[in-house]
Amino acid sequence: MKTVRRVSQVCFFALFVLLFFQTNRRVDWASGGMDVAAWGPADLFLRIDPLLGWTALIGSGSLLIPVLVWTLPVVALTLLFGRAFCGWVCPLGTCIDGADRLMRRKKLRRTDREVTRPRLKYYILAGLALTALFGSQLVWVLDPIALLTRGLTLGVFGPLNWVAQAAAGIPGLGWAAQVGSGLFPERPAVFRSGALALLVLAAILAGGYFARRFWCRSLCPLGALLGLLGRFPLFRRRVGAACTACSACGIDCKMGAIGDKGRRTVTSECIFCYSCAELCRQDAIRMIAPGGSRHSMPLDLDRRRLLAGFGLGAIWGVSARAATATRSTRDGASHIVDKHLIRPPGSVAESLFTERCARCGACMKVCPTNGLQPAIAEAGLGGIWTPVLAPRIGECSQNCNLCGQVCPTDAIEAFEIAEKEHLYIGRAAINRSTCIVWESGKQCLVCDEVCSYSTIYWLDEGGGDVTHEDLASGGEGAAGAQALPYVDPARCVGCGICEYNCPAGGPDAAIRVTCDGDKRHLSRAGQKAWQKDNWVDREGKPEFQQI
Amino acid sequence: MAGLACGGVAVGGCGGASDPAPDAGLRQPRTLGRGRGRVWVGHSGDPASALRAAVAAAGGLGFIPEGGHVVLKPNVAWSRNPQQAANTDPRILAAMIALCREAGAGKITVFEHTIDRPSEQVLAVSGIAAAARGAGADLVYTTAERDFVPVAVTRGKLLTRDTLARTVRDADVFINMPKAKHHSQTGLTLGLKNLMGVIFNRQAWHSGPDLHQYIADYATAVPIDMTVMDASRILLTNGPKGPGKTREPNEVIVSFDPVAADAYACGLFGLSPSDVAYVARAGELGLGESDPANIAIERA
């Protein structure tokens, strides 16, 4: 059965990796439409994760039935078999088992004593539940599925892509380019500070130096939740009369779940790995056996520490809540945030966004221009690894809605491409000191040329309209050289294609998008209404369209 | 953004430690000197028919060597469908591929370096991918610097070196297939401007001293064997990307003289080459005939 378990682990891990690589765009060559290339939901593992689902419910304060339904299979598994998910399905568990093997040392580690009473993760879970209640989600940082997905996306995907591209340049390895073109975006994906997420993953795996399944037994909040659900499973480890109390199984148990010299089990820690059953020389252990309480040991959480967990969670939640400065504007209260905090189109309003976003990295992975990057400081400490648009790295492509398609928690709500022209995520502003038209009188119209929404308009130095015919005469000294570009706020949604293509300014382009103009606090209909109210008809430009 | 603001007139791929000497050994056009100042114009509601008529009137594609590699460069920078008239019409591309095959071409490649991204979507929305693949041509689209090679520009006034797509350099035959449309910056984008799709760093030209001179200079370095311009439906306003007003002259313009093709096309918009500076400049460099009075138009 150990072999069967390992096969199960490998299969689920392979599925996880497959879905990871399939979180990629697929272009319909006939129509040009794009969707996500996965055979099923690309975020399957995130959806079935009860910790993510249930904290999302707490945070949103509503009973999201579809979310609940997706978590039922794992709940059912846990009610039947306890933490079998950890031992048979969890991809991080598989990584940890693998890493533990690599770090196996010859002598028995001191910490592998009979029952290690790993209760810290329950206190962590308590804290996370409270932060969820206050709407400041920390669970995403510690949930194993989100953590693994994020680490792979931000820390592994980019370097892997770079390796494939480099290999394609080596004579004889051109096939790597063919393989790569299906798996990777056109240019190697780069994620700023991506190694940070990878480091977190590496630190977790490094716990294997101290004890096997260190993360699973001591820290994992999903393990704690499943442990609580699976305290009285239908089937549990049962030791028969043949047992000689030699304690061999207890010393070997990687979860520290076996006590009373091998006869009893802490059911909320047992992951059904079958190591004890195959180790037992008396063959006294049955794993799939109807349970009875005499085989189990109590969980025995310490009340004070539990309260401390709740308390710290509450303190974090309240202080994080109070940490965002706001001021009232004509449009309503606006959060004072970093000007580079540009969210993907279709995102919900900022306070709700940081609650819902799982920091899974799926939107960043699927973004075809690599424009979505992990926030490091822009959204504060609590917003680390949430997606922000960095147009200088990649614009928000006009005919794309992949991020909305792939977001597992509806932090980015799905949207139609036609809606994008009134989903305001920011606004472009021209830096008149570095724009070569404003500053040097040169003729450059790149921002106008590439703008998807016909935003740039031109006025001469006297403020009079300048048409494109006037602009086109070319050469120095012509009337066109004195025309100056302006950004129309009702047309500019903040996609950043101007910033991406601007030839001036180096890293700080002469036209760049800031979150000024972000209108996510309005409903979509509200944003359309705002557009209509602020629309200015301009000659040669498309007219207002009521969609 | 590699290669931005390299300074001086050596624009394009000037980064990196290994900077090989520009390839000065580019071939001459196979049709050099042929049909100077002459354009053949096909007129039909069906662009493919217009193309065939114009190509036949121009004497066919006999200059394609048997089994040769033909590279076609349509104007497909933008994520726009054919009705929006911002890209070369896919029907013309498909017909051109068929004509090349009939003339004995071996491998036919459609090349583009798109501006909108992702490239696959641009090629799909524009109908170019379906047209190319349906007609059995390879599709090469790239935004990677390593697919461009340095090239010397010896006959220009300002530009002395830049880059060229490797695919185009290695081709036996290179046919430029631009779209005739309005352009906010240069007035019109026609054939000569379409060559900006085969350099790596377009941005550097825009911040250079004279975009029009660069366009003219660069065109002297690239061996253009034929120009096939799509004037079936043209974009009149808000170019080069649109959306804007369109008009349907239903014409396809074929020429061995890239300047004459552009000079003729100006007339479709009610403009003359003096209004579109790079056309006049290219004429001054001796690349072709830019004076409409000296252009022989043969309608097919």
Residue pLDDT, tens place only, A28-46: 888 889 988 777 788 899 8
Mean pLDDT: which of A50-59, A100-109, A260-269, B212-221 is highest?
B212-221
Instruction: Output helix, strand, coil percentages for chain A, rounded to the nearest 5.
Output: 45, 10, 45
Query: Are B187 and A443 in contact (CB < 8 Å)?
Result: no
Burial class (CB in 10 A: 0-12, 13-18, 19+), A160: middle
* Residue A387 maps to a domain: no
Cα B57 from chain centroid (whole Å) = 21
**Token duo for residue A516:** 């000024």
Give the mean pLDDT of B185-214: 86
Give the mean pLDDT of B41-63: 94
SS3 assignment for A145-190: HHHHHHHHHHHHHHHHHHHHHHHHCCCCCCHHHHHHHHHCCCCCCC
Give the mean pLDDT of B139-143: 85
CA pair distance A312, A315, nearest whole angstrom: 5
In this structure, are residues B267 and B298 in contact, taking their beta carbons and an 8 Å threshold? no
Query: Are B238 and A187 in contact (CB < 8 Å)?
Result: no
Is B153's Cβ below 8 Å from some Cβ in A?
Answer: no
Give the mean pLDDT of B259-266: 93
Query: Are B79 and A473 in contact (CB < 8 Å)?
Result: no
Mean pLDDT: which of A104-113, A166-175, A535-544, B34-43 is highest?
B34-43
Q: Which residues of B touch A502 (CB under 8 A)?
A: 203
pTM for the full predicted model: 0.88
**Token duo for residue A453:** 């929404």
| Average pLDDT value over all residues in chain A | 84
CA pair distance B272, B266, nearest whole angstrom: 5
CB atoms within 10 A of CB A459: 14
- pLDDT tens digits, B227-257: 999 999 998 888 789 888 899 999 999 999 9
* Residue A96 maps to a domain: yes
Say if residue B118 is preceded by a cis peptide, omega within 30 of 0: yes
For residue A333, the model assigns a pLDDT of 59
Domain that holds residue A452: 420-534
Total domain count for chain A?
2
Is B187's Cβ below 8 Å from some Cβ in A?
Answer: yes
For A296-310, A481-495, B161-175, B243-257, which range has the lowest pLDDT when averaged over its residues? A296-310
Task: Pick A398's closest partner by Cβ from B116, B119, B133.
Answer: B116
In this structure, are residues B271 and B263 in contact, taking their beta carbons and an 8 Å threshold? no
- pLDDT tens digits, B21-36: 565 568 889 988 888 9
Total domain count for chain B?
1
* Residue A410 maps to a domain: no
Residue B282 DSSP SS3: helix
In this structure, are residues A509 and A502 in contact, taking their beta carbons and an 8 Å threshold? yes
Model confidence at A431: pLDDT above 90: yes
CA pair distance A139, A224, nearest whole angstrom: 12
Model confidence at B162: pLDDT above 90: yes
Model confidence at B10: pLDDT above 60: no
For A141-155, A307-321, B58-72, which range has the lowest pLDDT when averaged over its residues? A307-321
Give the mean pLDDT of B144-160: 89
For residue B4, the model assigns a pLDDT of 30
**Which residues fall within 8 angstroms of residue B167, CB to CB, at 6 or more apart?**
B71, B109, B111, B140, B147
- At A410, which amino acid appears? D
For residue B7, the model assigns a pLDDT of 30
Is B147's Cβ below 8 Å from some Cβ in A?
Answer: no
Is B183's Cβ below 8 Å from some Cβ in A?
Answer: yes
Biggest alpha carbon–alpha carbon distance for chain B: 53
For residue B22, the model assigns a pLDDT of 60
Domain that holds residue B48: 38-222+233-249+258-299
Q: Which residues of B touch A169 (CB under 8 A)?
A: 146
Q: Which residues of B touch A443 (CB under 8 A)?
A: 185, 211
Neighbouring-strand partners of residue B252: B42, B230
* Residue B151 maps to a domain: yes
For residue B65, the model assigns a pLDDT of 94
CA pair distance A513, A458, nearest whole angstrom: 19
Domain boundary among A275, A295, A315: A295
For residue B17, the model assigns a pLDDT of 36
Is B237's Cβ below 8 Å from some Cβ in A?
Answer: yes
CA pair distance A445, A453, nearest whole angstrom: 15
For residue B6, the model assigns a pLDDT of 30
CA pair distance A80, B132, nearest whole angstrom: 57
For residue A483, the model assigns a pLDDT of 84
Helix axes B90-102, B47-57, angle to 10 degrees: 40
For residue B269, the model assigns a pLDDT of 87
In this structure, are residues B168 and A433 in contact, taking their beta carbons and an 8 Å threshold? no
In this structure, are residues A259 and A237 in contact, taking their beta carbons and an 8 Å threshold? no
**Token duo for residue A61:** 């304060």
Domain boundary among A228, A261, A295: A295
How far away is chain A from the Cα of B295, in angstroms, using its nearest Cα?
A: 23
* Residue B157 maps to a domain: yes
Q: Name the percent of chain B lying above pLDDT 90.
A: 64
Q: Rounded to 10 degrees, what is the CA torsion of A237, A242, A248, A251?
A: 30
How far away is chain B from the Cα of A541, in angstroms, using its nearest Cα?
A: 6
Residue A291's Cβ-side half-sphere holds a number of Cα atoms within 13 Å equal to 19
Task: Pick B130's closest partner by Cβ from A30, A446, A504.
Answer: A30
Query: Are A473 and B119 in contact (CB < 8 Å)?
Result: no
Model confidence at A396: pLDDT above 90: yes
Decide which of A247 and B247 is more confident: B247
Q: Name the percent of chain B lying above pLDDT 70.
A: 91
Q: How confident is the model at residue A545 (pLDDT cuts 50, 70, 90)?
A: confident
For residue A261, the model assigns a pLDDT of 80
* Residue B33 maps to a domain: no
Model confidence at A547: pLDDT above 80: no
What is the count of residue pairs from A and B with beta carbons less than 8 Å apart? 135
Give the mean pLDDT of B178-196: 85
- pLDDT tens digits, A484-543: 999 999 999 999 999 999 999 889 999 999 998 899 988 999 999 999 999 999 887 888
In this structure, are residues B195 and B279 in contact, taking their beta carbons and an 8 Å threshold? no
For A105-119, A382-396, B284-298, which range has the lowest pLDDT when averaged over its residues? A105-119
CA pair distance B189, B277, nearest whole angstrom: 11
Cα A122 from chain centroid (whole Å) = 24
Q: Which residues of B touch A474 (CB under 8 A)?
A: 186-187, 211-212, 276-278
Q: How confident is the model at residue A383 (pLDDT cuts 50, 70, 90)?
A: confident
| Average pLDDT value over all residues in chain B | 87
Q: Which helix (H) or strand (E) holds A410?
A: none
Decide which of B184 and B191 is more confident: B191
Cα B136 from chain centroid (whole Å) = 21
* Residue B147 maps to a domain: yes
In this structure, are residues B215 and B193 in contact, taking their beta carbons and an 8 Å threshold? yes
For residue B23, the model assigns a pLDDT of 59
Q: Which of A186, A401, A497 to mutate to test binding with chain B, by most B CBs within 10 Å of its CB?
A: A186
In this structure, are residues A262 and A248 in contact, taking their beta carbons and an 8 Å threshold? yes
Q: How confident is the model at residue B163 (pLDDT cuts 50, 70, 90)?
A: very high
Q: Which helix (H) or strand (E) holds A429?
A: strand A427-430
Model confidence at B12: pLDDT above 50: no
For residue A540, the model assigns a pLDDT of 78
For residue B276, the model assigns a pLDDT of 87
Model confidence at A116: pLDDT above 60: no
For A172-186, A198-212, A278-292, B167-181, which range has the lowest pLDDT when averaged over its residues? A172-186
For residue A181, the model assigns a pLDDT of 64
- pLDDT tens digits, A400-416: 999 999 888 889 999 99
Model confidence at A473: pLDDT above 70: no
Which CATH number covers residue A506?
3.30.70
For residue A443, the model assigns a pLDDT of 78
* Residue B31 maps to a domain: no
For A303-317, A356-370, B22-36, which range has the lowest pLDDT when averaged over its residues? B22-36
Model confidence at A324: pLDDT above 70: no
Biggest alpha carbon–alpha carbon distance for chain A: 101
Q: Name the percent of chain A lying above pLDDT 70.
A: 87
Which CATH number covers residue B127?
3.40.50.11440
Give the mean pLDDT of A140-163: 88
Q: Token pair 């935003």 is at which residue? A: A455
- DSSP characters over A321-332: HTTS-EEEETTE
Domain boundary among A246, A262, A295: A295
Decide which of A370 and A469 is more confident: A370
**ipTM field:** 0.87
* Residue B1 maps to a domain: no
